[in-house]
A and B are shown apart, each in its own frame.
Chain A
């Protein structure tokens, strides 16, 4: 099973998903992120899905779970780079990704996190 690497980017953690996501990978990512947030005291999590071509209900719900979990540990989660076809499919699927902030790219994602830290 492949694992998704978690990188530290200043006060934030960056997760760039480049592989086919199977359920165990997603769950492991969730656990490891929780550990890393605690270990590093990160205030933000960026999940880059620009290379992801399928987000189904399981993966979508996991993003929501990650966001809730991070919030409990005083970190904001933002998902960046969602492809149009994925967005259209999620709308049709009826998945709203509650609690998950989104941004078009890494740049905007970082700005969003900075802004949220400044209490704006």
Chain B
């Protein structure tokens, strides 16, 4: 069983987005997620990594194993950026809403693909998104 990377992964370029996809894929597989669940969480991570890059002005991601109270294993991914933040979270989570190149499905899509989803953001205070996917 491989140990997922501790520490933050930078999101500053397109290459980083690809790198994060690969890392999440490896970690999801190591955590024991099914193929479909792996695909879902990697896709969700791709959406959020791109958001962080395009709308957050760059940031970082952390991929780690998770365990719940019942001992069930899973994967947790945290995206952070120091960007402009989101003023209206409700609106941002509405399908199809977009400021520019499509924040549209990113947040709401990622939420549907993950089992747990947390969004913390305030204008001028950056954004933090947490995704968790459990083994079914």
Contact = CB atoms under 8 A, between A and B. Distances in A.
Do A and B actually bind? yes
Contact of A57 (B21, B22, B40, B106): B106
Interface in A71-103: 83-86, 88-89, 92-95
B43 A22 contact: no
Contacts of A57: 47, 102, 104-106, 109
Interface residues of A, number: 21
A33 B15 CA distance: 23
A86 B112 CA distance: 14
Interface of A: prevailing SS:
helix
A57 B51 CA distance: 11
B104 A92 contact: no
A61 B102 contact: yes
Given A22-B18, A23-B50, A24-B14, A93 B105 contact: yes
A20 B18 contact: yes
A54 B102 contact: no
Contacts of B18: 20, 22
A69 interface: no
Contacts, number: 66
Interface size class of B (residues with CB under 8 A): 20 to 34
Interface string B86-120: 00000000010000001011101100110000000
A119 B28 CA distance: 46
Given A20-B21, A23-B17, A93-B43, A85 B105 contact: no
A56 B17 CA distance: 12
B36 interface: yes
Contacts of B35: 85
A88 B43 contact: no
B132 interface: no
Contacts of A56: 43, 46-47, 50
A55 interface: yes
A36 B118 CA distance: 44
